[in-house]
């Protein structure tokens, strides 16, 4: 990486306004793309691997690869929506500017995830169990998301319309990102599994899982939806085990 | 505080989004082209929804997604123009065509922008209810932005009118919005994914 890339890397942390203005203005965005993508891949990789310390072994490698993949895939999916929402609400930016702004925001969020990685590692090291761990990770994603959206907001402008654009975009980002990550799970690894799978089979959705983890973290293990009503009549509801996860 | 954005049109040609959502009135031919582009883009959203089942569902969803916007354009816009003319609002057919084209193109552009995300969600979410919820959310967002563009364009022509006339026009616009929402919902409910069959 050459010096302009490092300079942008520094700006991502210290001066999001400058990064946002550079994205809006257009011009040569290559250093911004490279720096933001590097931050995204490295940051998400470190955080993914840290999440997997609860399980260890091969899961470290899998999560370190899959979390950056999930974030990049999410960016590819949501940038058109961001561009369209902003244009529809009267803030049409160039598409390359939108890509730059989105990548920079994701890179900034990934750097926040790196900063939160030691907390995650320490929590698991001190015996944090699976379901509270999932919620802690969700909280870290939320903090990183706020840092990222702050940069996006500077890009579209600090005014009522900008807030509406960012709020709508955040809704699309949260839904798409959550489901993308859900498709690429596991990141922590199911404690009851003998081996570590790279992917899990498709089951329900991200939002069902988040709701179920919230209940499970307070000791309420609800019947899963995977059994049909007829099966449940025959066998009784299938109750999730405390060490089971999605 | 509102920040001034750089004028991208002076530095580079305006993006597709900027051209489709521009409030400037152009020739009737350009406005009709913009309208057609919007409806075509809305079909992309339908294709994304149809990916859940594949096959003929792709075509069914693509047609139904565009049909909601088409219905509002064909049934609603002429009626709105007639009603506004009845109360002596200073609107011309070309201005109304431009407002309608901008509105429907904006809605179509937003639907097209949402299509990649919706394709992922429609294909990977197992629950039909959740898939229907995602579909409705996308249609609501795009429809809301379309109505916002329409009301902004029409209200821009009402500046300088007497308060009474402005009140009448705003009341008509409000009534039109309610009608457009009901009409679009009526047509969009033909989408198989919203019936839980996809």
**Is residue A139 located within the same domain as residue A215?**
no
Q: Is residue A193 part of a domain?
A: no
* Residue A148 to residue B123: CA distance in whole angstroms: 27
**Is residue A149 located within the same domain as residue A231?**
no
**Is residue A125 located within the same domain as residue A23?**
yes
Q: Is residue A217 part of a domain?
A: yes
**Is residue A45 located within the same domain as residue A147?**
yes
Q: Is residue A141 part of a domain?
A: yes
Boundaries of every domain in chain B: 27-195
**Is residue A24 located within the same domain as residue A59?**
yes
**Is residue A144 located within the same domain as residue A242?**
no
**Is residue A34 located within the same domain as residue A155?**
yes
Q: Is residue A164 part of a domain?
A: yes
Q: How many domains does chain A have?
A: 2
CA distances from residue A79 to A85, A115, A173, B45, B52 in whole angstroms, order as listed: 10, 25, 9, 15, 22
**Is residue A211 located within the same domain as residue A131?**
no
* Residue A244 to residue B31: CA distance in whole angstroms: 57
The string of pLDDT tens digits covering residues A183-218 is 888 888 776 777 777 777 777 677 777 777 667 766
Q: Which stretches of chain B sit within 8 Å of chain A by CB?
A: 1-3, 5-6, 8, 11-12, 14-18, 20-21, 106-107, 109-117, 120-121, 124-127, 130, 134, 137, 141-142, 145-146, 148-149, 152
ipTM field: 0.85
pLDDT band at B6 (very low <50, low <70, confident <90, very high): very low
Q: Is residue A189 part of a domain?
A: no
| Shortest Cα–Cα distance, B38 to chain A (Å) | 12
Of A153, A183, A213, which residue sits at a domain end? A183
pLDDT score at A2: 57
Total count of residues recorded for chain B: 198
> Domain of A230?
201-246
Q: Which residue of A has its CA nearest to B42?
A: A84
pLDDT score at B141: 96
Select from A85, A80, A108 the least CA-distant residue to A95: A80
Of A128, A154, A183, which residue sits at a domain end? A183
Interface test with A, best of B110, B127, B132 (most A CBs within 10 A): B110
Q: Which residue of A has its CA nearest to B45?
A: A81
pTM comes to 0.82
Q: Is residue A194 part of a domain?
A: no
**Is residue A122 located within the same domain as residue A209?**
no
Mean pLDDT of chain A: 81
Select from B185, B90, B138, B121 the least CA-distant residue to A181: B121
The string of pLDDT tens digits covering residues A16-40 is 888 888 888 877 788 888 889 999 9
- Alpha helical stretches, state H, chain A: 3-14, 16-25, 30-51, 58-88, 95-125, 130-156, 160-183, 206-217, 229-235
Mean pLDDT of chain B: 89
Q: Is residue A97 part of a domain?
A: yes
In degrees and rounded to multiples of 5, residue A202 shows phi and psi of -70, 125
Of A183, A212, A237, which residue sits at a domain end? A183
């Amino acid at each position: 990486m050459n010096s302009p890339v490092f300079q942008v890397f520094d700006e991502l942390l210290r001066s999001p306004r400058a990064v946002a203005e550079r994205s809006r203005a257009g011009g040569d965005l290559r250093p911004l793309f490279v720096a933001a993508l590097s931050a995204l891949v490295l940051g998400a990789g470190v955080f993914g691997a840290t999440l997997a310390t609860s399980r260890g072994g091969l899961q470290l490698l899998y999560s370190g690869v899959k979390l950056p993949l999930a974030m990049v895939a999410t960016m590819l999916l949501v940038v058109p929506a961001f561009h369209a929402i902003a244009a529809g609400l009267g803030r049409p930016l160039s598409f390359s500017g939108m890509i730059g702004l989105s990548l920079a925001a994701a890179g900034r969020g990934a750097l926040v995830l790196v900063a939160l990685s030691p907390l995650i590692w320490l929590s698991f090291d001190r015996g944090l169990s699976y379901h509270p761990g999932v919620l802690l990770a969700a909280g870290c994603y939320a903090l990183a998301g706020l840092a990222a959206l702050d940069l996006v907001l500077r890009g579209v402008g600090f005014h009522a319309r900008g807030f509406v654009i960012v709020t709508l975009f955040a809704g699309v980002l949260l839904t798409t990102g959550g489901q993308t990550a859900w498709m690429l799970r596991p990141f922590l690894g199911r404690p009851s599994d003998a081996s570590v799978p790279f992917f899990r089979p498709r089951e329900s959705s991200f939002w069902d899982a988040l709701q179920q983890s919230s209940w499970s973290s307070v000791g309420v293990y609800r019947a899963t939806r995977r059994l049909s009503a007829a099966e449940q009549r025959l066998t009784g509801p299938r109750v999730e085990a405390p060490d089971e996860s999605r | 505080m509102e920040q001034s954005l750089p004028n991208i049109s002076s530095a580079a040609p305006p993006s597709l989004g900027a051209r489709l959502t521009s409030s400037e009135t152009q020739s009737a031919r350009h406005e009709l082209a913009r309208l057609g582009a919007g409806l075509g883009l809305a079909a992309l959203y339908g294709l994304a929804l149809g990916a859940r089942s594949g096959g003929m569902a792709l075509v069914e969803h693509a047609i139904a997604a565009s049909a909601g916007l088409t219905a509002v354009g064909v049934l609603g816009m002429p009626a709105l123009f007639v009603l506004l003319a009845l109360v002596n609002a200073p609107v011309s057919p070309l201005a109304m065509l431009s407002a309608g084209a901008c509105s429907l193109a904006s809605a179509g552009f937003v639907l097209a922008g949402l299509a990649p995300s919706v394709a992922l969600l429609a294909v990977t979410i197992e629950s039909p209810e959740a898939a229907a919820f995602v579909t409705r959310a996308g249609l609501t967002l795009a429809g809301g932005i379309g109505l916002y563009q329409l009301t902004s364009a029409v209200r821009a022509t009402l500046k300088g009118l007497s308060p009474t006339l402005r009140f009448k026009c705003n009341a008509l616009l409000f009534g039109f919005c309610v009608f457009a929402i009901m009409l679009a919902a009526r047509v969009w409910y033909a989408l198989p994914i919203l019936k839980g069959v996809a």
